[in-house]
Amino acid sequence: MQTCVKSPRNGCALHGVLQTVQAINGVVPIVHSNSGCAIQSYLSNKSSGLDNTYFTGQNVFSTDAQERHIIFGGASRLREQIKNTIKVVNGDLYIVLNSCVSAMVGDDVEAMTRESREQGETIIESLTAGLHGDSHYGYESVVTDIIKKLPLVVNIPEEKNDKLVNIFGILPKEDIYYRGNLAEIKRILEGIGLSVNTFFSYGNGVEEFKNASTAALSISFSRWGNAPAKALEELYGVKNVEFSNVPTGPIEVAEFVRKIAAELGVSSDVVDAFVEKEEKEFDYYYQGVIDDFYNEAGSKSLAIVADESVAIRVGGFLKRYIGADIKTIIVTDRVSKKESSDDSENDVLNTIANEVYYTQDGKEISDILSNNNIELVLGSSLDRNLANGKKRTGLDISFPAYNKAIVNKSYVGIRGALTLLEDYLTVVKEDNHAKELELLEYIGQNVG
């Protein structure tokens, strides 16, 4: 069935691939496409206040294929672009990315990268054309490709590190706070004595992908992390555990670290000491705002519009820790995956909200929010735009987030949970204050 989607928030698979590889230090993308694919990806992310990396925007290498490259094939143009790129920039890993046009024409991209590899270059390809799916699929596909193809260009170490874990499923830029979130998860896991490959946060690089095979465990925090984790398991026997979301709050963090510790044989003394320390830290700050949420936040009706794993962690946290009244959850990343509607994630979502919807259609989302008397929207900037040009009150938790600079904020773990609490209560208090002013203005005009 053909449908028309208004204001879709998810880019194409190439968009997802590009924003993923751009978040890995030392990776140089070479896009084999007609002019515009890479720059559109950049403009989309730029308008959302997301970060630059070295090879973003106009610094992305592209074949800029013209009509003659479509008609006669663009492989030789790609060969030229690969050579030129390697001449002018040093990379730890060059990765050729495919586009709809080259996929439809059937350019032999693999032959070009193979030729370059035979000349000793560290180059692989990811044939994830835009038409294969949305930006979430792009992450899943390219990370899996890197894992599978890296042995073609680097020596993969054979020894195992029983304290090393890999993190998958926190998607660069789709999760707008991915850097801070990855850093917080890393801090937590390091707290029980583990080393962590985050792949996409501060200090990461191709080296982490190389070492991923030596890890004792892969942890996937959303359905999009499962395929790369399984690839590591199949290739190198790295066990993987799947979570539906990133732990947010002391109870969730405690459960999480105990489960990981059990998998890796970490001593319970170490875990208990860490959990106690984290709980104390959380409680200390939490106490400081108790009055705020009793007095100000209790009666607010909320909607959450986000990717599944984000909706679960944000909704779950606000419900558990401040008793938030979550009327509606709208899941926006289940468009290209045709899972059954009765899986465990659905059960979790149904315990958090009264109603759960699955759509990325802007009109449908707007209608759902309007019909359910929602006071606060936790979602993307798109979800807070009203037809009359006004904004709904809310909090940015999803892509895209306009007019926002994001450095290293986190909304997960312990410290991120406190930031989420702080930001949420601030929005609530601002909203209450604005309503008080409206009331006073009304009284001033109509009474006495």
Partner 1 sequence: MAERIGKHIAIYGKGGIGKSTTTSNISAALAEAGYRVIQIGCDPKSDSTNTLRGNNYLPTVLDSLREGNKIHLDDISVKGFKGVLCIESGGPVPGVGCAGRGINASVNLLQELNLFEEFKPDFVLYDVLGDVVCGGFAVPIRDGITDRAYVVSSSDFMAIYAANNLFKAINKYAPTGGAKLGGVIANSITAGYSKSIIDDFTSKTGTSVAGYVNRSIVVQQSELYGKTVIEANPTSEQADIYRNLAKHIAENEDLVVPSPLGAGELRDWAREWGDKIYNLESGVVAGAEVI
Residue numbers of the site for partner 1 (CB under 8 A)?
67-75, 104-105
Rounded least distance, CB 81 to partner 1, Å: 17
Q: Which is nearer to partner 1, 68 or 404 (CB)?
A: 68
Minimum Å gap between C-beta 118 and partner 1 is 21
To partner 1, the closest distance from the beta carbon of 34 in angstroms equals 12
- CB 75 to partner 1: min, Å: 7
Q: Using CB atoms within 10 Å of the CB of residue 325, give its burial: 0 to 12 exposed, 13 to 18 middle, 19+ buried.
A: middle
Handedness of CA 350, 425, 173, 167 (dihedral sign): negative
- Beta bridge mates, 357: 330
Task: Yes or no: say if 84 and 121 are a contact pair by the CB < 8 Å rule.
Answer: no
Nearer to partner 1, 105 or 348 (CB): 105
Nearer to partner 1, 100 or 156 (CB): 100
CB 99 within 8 A of CB 125: no
Shorter beta-carbon distance to partner 1: residue 102 or 166: 102
Which residue's CB is nearer to partner 1, number 109 or number 227?
109
DSSP 339-393: --TTSHHHHHHHHH-SEEEE---HHHHHHHHHHTT-SEEEE-HHHHB-TTS-B--
Q: How far is the CB of 70 from partner 1 (least distance, A)?
A: 5
Q: How many CA atoms lie within 13 A of 365 on its CB side?
A: 28
Whole-number minimum distance, CB 107 to partner 1, in Å?
8
Tokens of 369: 């929010």
- We find the least distance from the C-beta atom of residue 213 to partner 1, in angstroms, to be 37
Among candidate residues 242, 254, 399, 272, the one with its CA nearest the CA of residue 333: 399
Three-class DSSP category at 180: helix
Q: In this complex, which beta carbon is closest to partner 1, that of residue 107 or of residue 145?
A: 107
Residue 136 and residue 307 in contact, taking contact as beta carbons nearer than 8 Å: yes
C-alpha Rg value of the chain to the nearest Å: 23
Q: Which is nearer to partner 1, 77 or 186 (CB)?
A: 77
